Every structure is written in structure tokens, then in C-alpha cells.
Amino acid sequence: MKAQTKTTQDSLTPNDALRMLKEGNNRFVSNQHTNKNLLQMVNDTRDGQWPFAVVLSCIDSRTSAELVFDQGLGDIFSARVAGNVVNEDILGSMEYAVKYAGSKLVLVLGHTKCGAVTSACKKVNDGNITALLHKIKPAIERAEKEATVSADTQEFVEKVATFNVFEAMEEIRERSQIIREMENEGKIIVAGAVYDVETGVVNFFDN
């Protein structure tokens, strides 16, 4: 597996980028990783980087996007924050990735058994964690309206985790004119998915 180049990045469509992540997760789950010479990738990317996607995921130690999508150095931008929530810095990073660095895909990746989502559902109030968890509140409210399970169950927490991805996707489109316009023009795709920490499978949402 070689690092992305400007030529290979330019040749990709947004759907190609999405397909590459899906194929990478299939390899990860089947334990058939591509052969990567990481030191060679360091050399190949010393003068520049051409990632084909930017992935917003949680800081959870089990959800490294490079690993679960079987990618190498220089392949994807990875933005990580507890609960995979959106803020101004995340939006700016994504805008840089798609407008100036050529990425074709914005993926919001949630995961099962998320500590941030669980804490938000339990209304944890502690230091700066409080403000972060507040960003998950819209997903909780959405789950309370649409879910058919009790709010004190693990199933409810997983519903919130899923809705939290949808909320992030909607917020990205609403708050970023750059991303919204590029998606409308077909230059990029904004997609969502949830990683199952028990199986390693990434379940992608239909766009």
C-alpha cells in the first residue's frame, strides 16, 4: 500500500472515498490488512499530504480511524473529540481538509458504548465536561421523542449515539457554508456511521 499522491487524490470521486473506507473496514474485520511500509510512507509524504477523507470520531481509545479503516500515513485527516461533537475548531479543520487539502469525504463516526454519550444520558455535571456533554443534549431529546425504549437502558444510550451522529452531520451542513456548498456541487459527501466496539464493524448510514 502506497501513500496517497496529488494524482491519486484528484482521480477520486466522493463515492470512491466512501467506498475506500468501507473496503478498509472490511479488511480490518476480516484481519486482512494491507501491507504498509510506514517508513516509506513517511518518506513519500515528507513534502506534502493528500488525504482523501476527513473523519470526525470520538477520543475513545478503541476507535482509531486509521486502524478501523485500514489506512496508512497521509490517507485521512482524523479529528477527535469526546462524543464526536462539533465545534468551531472542528468545522474549521474540516473546511481546510475539503477546500484546501482536497479531501472528498467528511465522515462523522460515532460508536457503541460511548462514555461521553452515556455520561450525557446520566446528566453528568463536572468541570469542562459539562459544556462538552451539553452538545449531546439534542440527540438525547431526539431519542426521547423517537425511541421506543426506556431512557435508563443501554439500548437507549445506543439510540442516542446514533442520533448524535445525525445531529453532527446536520450541524456541519448548517454551520459550514463551505462544506454545504461543496456538497451541493457534488465535490464532497458528508456521511455518517457507527463503529461497533464488540465486532469492529462500521455500520454506514444511507446518504
- Is 33 labelled a binding residue? no
Residue 110 pairs in a beta bridge with 194
For residue 2, give the C-alpha cell. Answer: 502506497
pLDDT digit string, tens, across residues 177-200: 999 999 999 999 999 999 999 999
Burial class (CB in 10 A: 0-12, 13-18, 19+), 167: buried
The annotation status of 114 as a binding-site residue, yes or no, is yes
Q: Can you tell me the distance from the alpha carbon of 124 to that of 93, in angstroms, rounded to the nearest whole number?
A: 28
Domain parsing of the chain, residue ranges: 6-111+174-204
**Average pLDDT in the 76-105 region?**
98
Residues 22-58: tens digit of each pLDDT = 999 999 999 998 888 888 888 888 888 999 999 999 9
Per-residue pLDDT at 121 exceeds 70: yes
Ranges of beta strands (E only) in 115-177 are none
In words, the CATH class of domain 6-111+174-204 is alpha beta
Do residues 78 and 94 make contact, with C-beta atoms less than 8 angstroms apart? no
Give pLDDT tens digits for 145-178: 886 777 788 999 999 999 999 999 999 999 999 9
Task: Report CA-CA distances (Å) from 38 to 87, 125, 206.
Answer: 32, 42, 33
What's the pLDDT score for residue 152?
80
Report whether 121 belongs to an annotated binding site: no
